[in-house]
Amino acid sequence: MKIVFVAGARPNFIKIAPLMEAIKRRPAIEPMMVHTGQHYHETMSDLFFRQLGIPEPDVNLAKMGIKLIHVEAGLRSFDRSMPEEINRILTDSISDLLFCSEQSGVDNLRREGIPETKIHFVGNVMIDTLLRHQEKAEASNILPELGVRSGTYAVVTLHRPSNVDNAAVLSRIFSALGEIGRDMPVVFPIHPRTRQRLAAAGVEGNHSPIKLIDPLGYLDFLKLMSSARLVLTDSGGIQEETTILKVPCLTLRENTERPSTVEMGCNRLVGTEPNRILAAYQEIRNGGQRPAKTPPLWDGHAAERIVNVINSL
């Protein structure tokens, strides 16, 4: 077993000393010490190591001045029950360079008091990857392998705990998917964990119109998604990808940290209630797709802009 100890200040050293000593007597445990360098003065750091018998750090971050860069900075769902939301806020607050994929990210960072010199609107690196591999994905045989034809089926992805870990919510979603599945094929590349949740909720066997398949590789999934009549998802990235592909997207959430996909794309927030999901589905089925635009700088060159900024420092 490997254990990494992260410490950087006087109280940490005092607490870590007996742990490191106890681990010496356990050959099955391999310790690693990371010194963050919060206290790096001789009398507040080095002396403690010598006097308390703490082994020298394996990694010492003192005075290294390492800069932190956040790609896709500033995105906010304004829902702090989502672990990703907390991570975004914390990372943005300590980053030296913040690269934003859409205008909302810039606006959010400004509102939070981030200095303008740190903020750079560069576009979306996920779209760089999509555009670079779109032609290659067209060669995929995934459609004939699944027995579906372009423009005649729906694709589903679900992974958020708020959807898959709540049996009642999962049942509601699958009720709507079952209705859609009686109208057109529904293909669901399902994560093993989500499949377990379905079985535990007693849902899976009751919705045979839904074609559950194993997770797909990037190129096969890109082909499957780009050829779909619509996509139903709770994924942020897929909201972005469908925007570029101009494929209608129904987001099974009440909020999104990517509002440009709603404002400019063909994404709609429909929540998890069957009546809302099915109403939006019927509108798309009847030709009610809104015209979609491409958000600014989603042109396949975001990575180049990021590198240019870094190179100019």
- Active-site residue numbers? 159
Q: Please answer whether residues 180 and 211 qualify as being in contact, where contact means their C-beta atoms are separated by less than 8 angstroms.
A: no
3-state secondary structure of 249: strand
**Calpha distance 124→299 (Å, rounded):** 8
Q: How many CA atoms lie within 13 A of 173 on its CB side?
A: 31
**Selection from 232, 245, 236, 244 nearest residue 281 by Cα:** 232
Minimal CA–CA distance to 181: which of 143, 146, 207, 159? 207
d(CA 169, CA 266): 24
Give strand pairing partners of 30: 2
Those residues with Cβ within 8 angstroms of residue 223's Cβ, 6 or more apart along the chain or in another chain = 137, 138, 140, 142, 143
Q: What are the structure tokens assigned to 272, written together?
A: 């998890």
Cα 64 to Cα 125: distance, rounded to the nearest angstrom = 28
Number of separate helices (H) and strands (E) present in the chain: 14, 12
Q: Which two tokens stand for residue 139?
A: 């060669």
Beta carbons of 276 and 254 less than 8 angstroms apart? no
Give me the amino acid identity at 86: I
